[in-house]
Chain A
């Protein structure tokens, strides 16, 4: 139970940081998605059986706060959860590498879903500008910040799982 509270508290702090500070730090028009990074990091370190409940809550909060279509956070976060569970089953021994791989894949998935949804809403999209000015800078920022976020989440996970966290 304490692990859920720590995970949720960490997520809420990350949400506040994202909304107030990190959404304004931009390269061209791209910005980092700290929430996505936190979910990836927490899923990598949380070994509890009912982690999906926390993932569900995190996706629900994101869909409430963000203007993204409701289904996107649920799809992205549960994909992250399922992929990382597969990693764990295959005794994935390098969580930092896992963090980078899953961050890269999840960022691409979220980008594809968001642009696809906007496109379906019959909005004219300059795909070249979307790629060069938003998608690639956002991906770069996500990859750069994945390492410090991994370290912070790992320390946080030590509080929640004093014995169960891998090195």
Chain B
């Protein structure tokens, strides 16, 4: 807990001065329960920030409060120094891309994109050129006169993006924009959205429950759980130095063991002593990423100081194409190890005794509150 406060405070403090979007103690209550509880966040100009978390963590509620579609119970939303908390959505100047795209079914693609400009009383000739440019940006010039229902999911997605961007919003908001696309298209759109965002240099907030999207696209990742902020950091920070077991297990796969830290850099897990990179004391959770563990022939050779080594028996082997997943029984606990599959060669069999080995620095330790 101490750890996460430090981590989350550090980046927001350093960017406070040049923050383009700032949330101060933003809170949404429904009766007794909190959808979002006192959220502080600062997004510098031109950054793409992901709000990442499981469903019900308050990420979409946060986004909708920023857009003005939900009124906060407490707190402030500040954009470029102006407090916009009480402003209705139609004055906020935000481009919002909906999960369902929310294209107007009765208007053509061009009319959809032109809508925001018409609301702003932009002259007709200017609307025409700006709509054309926006559609060119998302490579849909040729489909301008189609109706939304005549487009594929990916095309609808790009119309929604063009419609949100053509008004040159001060902030682009994306609510799970890729969740309705198939896997291949999702990869493509991920790059496309990131490219457009960087080319325009626009500040953007991206809501997702998919850690791959958050890590691969965004400058910063905000991990949320039950309406609260768990960690803010760069994708590397969040992955390599998770602030809590929740972050560790939500961002990437992990193994989890329970042990007792002795305060001397070792932790007792059952009969096994593990070396760890901290000197904390007391009950702890230990986590290791499955792909950071190596699977060796059973050996009794002692490990060196920078390596942990434990022994177990293979319980199950799963072949997942490019990956082999071994479920290894270690003193009654199950540890998952992932290894690259080499043309299906060298697969170890169930029942084989094996040794698991990983570097001490790859052992993540979290103190457990009693």
Report whether chain A binds chain B: no
Q: Which residues of A contact B (CB under 8 A)?
A: none
